[in-house]
Amino acid sequence: MTLVTAFAAVAACGSEADHSAASPAAGPHSMHAGASPAPPQSLRAGERFLDLKMAEAYTPTAPEGGGTDEYRCQMIDPGLTGTAFVTGTQFAPENIAIAHHAIVYAVPPDRAALVREQDAKTPGLGWQCFGGTGVPGADVEGDDQGATWVDTWAPGATETLLDQDIGFKLGPGSLIVLQIHYNLLVTDGRPAGSDRSAVRLRLTDGTPQTRELTTLPLDAPTDLPCAADESGPLCDRAASIADVTKRFGPDVGESADRQVKECNPGGVPKPGNTQTCDQKVPAPMTLFAGFGHMHLLGRAIKVELNPGTPNAKVVLDVPQFDFDNQRLMKLPSPVEIGPGDTLRVTCTHDARLRRQLPQLKKLPPRYVVWGDGTSDEMCTGIMTVSLRTS
């Protein structure tokens, strides 16, 4: 089996050492120029297209307190009455001038009520979100896991195709959550017209042998101190964790210390730019692809299989992370893993980027820990896998 993606590689080749020395002015945003989406490739045997569109047009607005970006999630019901497998996706932005990137999530039927509740309680179309679906219990990492990250779009990207008998399963009652990052930089944060974007799914009914794809999140702590020339009350780790807890609740607020206990010998925080975590593979599975997820201070992310052994292998390497270009990267060939194997995720963040980004430079400096907000961080290697029975 192979997984084929029409996306280019996430980043240009280069050593981790070279990347860590990069100028902070480069930033983790590519600020893509507008471009029309490429036409879809022809249907293959057994496939059909399902065209989905936002329920109505939405006019994005910058968040209160400044900035020029809004992250908006929309619920889309594909209306499936039977099981289908997603073998390709293509996002189609209507307002290309402000559509900066988009992410397609699949939510299974048993978590759909959580998404509907979030949508119903939020005024207007959809809800604000950042770094995920924004729905506790129906997100893609940590204790909130319950959705699958299917695809990412950025201007210039073409359709993503899965090859062979594999796909993302959508059962009856499943929902799609579409996260769109609207960038209002061209109007200094003022409204810049409405958008009613769409996404085209390539579906197949599958076969008895079709292998269902899911995501395996691999998290590491984030313990990024303020830069040497920064100061303020939130530069204290405990104060920063208390602030995260206030904004997102105890489940998120406890993440920083919980990850330290799980990942660091002795459970002691290790302040610094680079953090790592070894995780045992929980079950037999086939690894097909993956991508790195951090926030705006992310510089580099890597996932290694069985590091420090004769069979060590790098399965994901993003030496120049770009938050707006979190694209799926295929492995040269699928890798079989299982109990007894170790996966290590390593992330590098850079506090100097805080002064370069419109979303962050007006905010007070902080000791950055795990959290859902723009000023917080994450470190996750999200791997695309299929479980094996043996």
- Higher-pLDDT residue of 40, 74: 74
Is the Cβ–Cβ distance between 59 and 197 less than 8 Å? Answer: no
Is the Cβ–Cβ distance between 201 and 50 less than 8 Å? Answer: yes
Give mean pLDDT, residues 278-295: 92
Give mean pLDDT, residues 182-187: 71
Q: Give every CB contact of residue 124 below 8 A, 6+ residues apart in sequence.
A: 58
Going by C-alpha positions, the residue among 321, 282, 279 that lies closest to residue 299 is 321
pLDDT of res. 189 = 64
DSSP 326: -
Cα 378 to Cα 211, 218, 297, 347, 381: the distances in Å are 29, 11, 9, 9, 10
Structure tokens at 267: 């459970």
Structure tokens at 108: 């299974």
User: What's the mean pLDDT when you consider all of the chain?
Assistant: 84
pLDDT of res. 372 = 74
Rg of the chain, C-alpha, whole Å: 20
pLDDT of res. 371 = 85
Is the Cβ–Cβ distance between 41 and 155 less than 8 Å? Answer: no
- Higher-pLDDT residue of 185, 165: 165
CA 158, distance to chain mean position in Å, is: 18
pLDDT of res. 67 = 59
Structure tokens at 178: 């579409």
Q: How far is residue 250's CA from residue 234's CA, in Å, rounded to a whole number?
A: 18
- Higher-pLDDT residue of 141, 355: 355
Query: In the structure, what pLDDT confidence band is assigned to residue 187 with cuts at 50, 70 and 90?
Result: low
Looking at 35-44, 96-105, 134-143, 341-350, which range is the least confident one?
35-44
**Strands 166-170 vs 211-212: parallel, antiparallel or unpaired:** parallel
Highest mean pLDDT among 7-21, 312-326, 339-353: 339-353
- Using the structure block, give the residue that is written with the tokens 């249907």: 43
Looking at 67-71, 301-305, 315-319, 325-329, which range is the least confident one?
67-71
Q: Which residues pair with 348 in a beta bridge?
A: 274, 300
Give mean pLDDT, residues 133-148: 84
Query: In the structure, what pLDDT confidence band is assigned to residue 8 with cuts at 50, 70 and 90?
Result: very low
pTM across the whole model? 0.75
pLDDT of res. 279 = 96
